[in-house]
Amino acid sequence: MVNFICPVCKNELVRVENSLKCSKGHCFDISRKGVVNLLISNKSHHGDDKRMVNARREFLGKGYYAPLRERIAELAAKYAADGCTLLDCGCGECSYTADIAEKLTGSGISADIIGIDVSKDALNAGASRHTGARLAAASVYGIPLPDRSCDIVLALFSPFSGSEYLRVLKDGGIYITAFPLEDHLFELKQAVYDVPYKNKVAPLAVTGFELLENSEVRFTMRLSTNSDIISLFEMTPYCYKTSPADRAKLDGYDEMTVNACFGTAVYRKLT
């Protein structure tokens, strides 16, 4: 099992009762839910708040994103080997982490699964899933793991931190990502904005990595309640970039058909 490293001095953290401690005396308590806070910023709040976390948990819990979740779990199982270390960067409330853990177990693959996210609200929700993953509040721009310690890095809809992914991945390690395509949730945008915009999709080429495979996951969701429509909206970044007047437009919808359009890509670290 790979130990976390201290975010202050980068030395190995060892568990001592309900804390993680390094040789320099830095100490980080493990919460009753099993989450350790390795953020050293002075900000009082990081990442997704409870409203966004609850919306995502409610929406995903109804199976709306099942095709994507199944695809991600399949990719993880395809590239995982028994005894591997898998890091889920921006794991949120661990919906995808839980799917991966279940898929690996069902495939007879034993893995050390680690999840990091800047949102303690999301991690607390994730801990309740009992996936067996070790969870830490940490940034993808300062991953609290040693160099070349991970076999797979998963980053779904989280900020890209290529230099850190390359640092923590073993030579030949695998990087799996998912991202919204141009038309993702366009019908939802049409309901909210006077001039809806399409998503910008970054080129697939990533410095330091070889692209192994990529695919699209497209499916139609028929949302039959206003609460599901609101949950979908509130779990996206649009929620915090939209005026109250535009947001209120959704109150008039009791049903909506929305197309989900995702891209997935798998890379191998170049040596």
> Is there a domain that residue 7 lies in?
no
> Is there a domain that residue 52 lies in?
yes
| 30-57: burial string, b at 16+ Cβ within 10 Å, e else | beeebbbbbbeeeeeebbbeeebbbbbb
Q: How many CB atoms lie within 10 A of CB 120?
A: 20
What is the pLDDT, as a whole number, of residue 46? 65
| Residue range of the domain that includes 157 | 31-269
Task: Provide the percentage of residues in the chain whose pLDDT is more than 70.
Answer: 98
> Is there a domain that residue 19 lies in?
no
Of the candidates 214, 229, 235, 226, which has an alpha carbon nearest to the alpha carbon of residue 95? 235
- Provide the whole-model pTM: 0.94
> Is there a domain that residue 249 lies in?
yes
pLDDT digit string, tens, across residues 140-195: 999 999 999 999 999 998 889 999 999 999 999 999 999 999 999 999 999 999 99
Q: How far apart are CA 144 and CA 22, in angstroms?
A: 12
> Is there a domain that residue 55 lies in?
yes
Residue type for position 238 = Y
Q: How far apart are CA 52 and CA 268, in angstroms?
A: 32
What is the pLDDT, as a whole number, of residue 231? 95
Q: Is the pLDDT of residue 41 over 90?
A: no
In Å, what is the CA distance from 243 to each residue of 8, 246, 247? 39, 5, 6
Residue 43: pLDDT band (50, 70, 90) is: low
Contacts of 21 (CB under 8 A, 6+ apart): 13, 14, 27, 28
> Is there a domain that residue 174 lies in?
yes
> Is there a domain that residue 127 lies in?
yes
What is the pLDDT, as a whole number, of residue 51? 86
* CATH assignment at residue 139: 3.40.50.150
Element (H, E) at 160: none
pLDDT digit string, tens, across residues 218-268: 999 999 999 999 999 999 888 888 999 999 999 999 999 999 999 999 999
> Is there a domain that residue 88 lies in?
yes
pLDDT digit string, tens, across residues 105-140: 999 999 999 999 999 999 999 999 888 899 999 999
What's the total number of domains in the chain? Answer: 1
Q: How far apart are CA 188 and CA 193, in angstroms?
A: 9
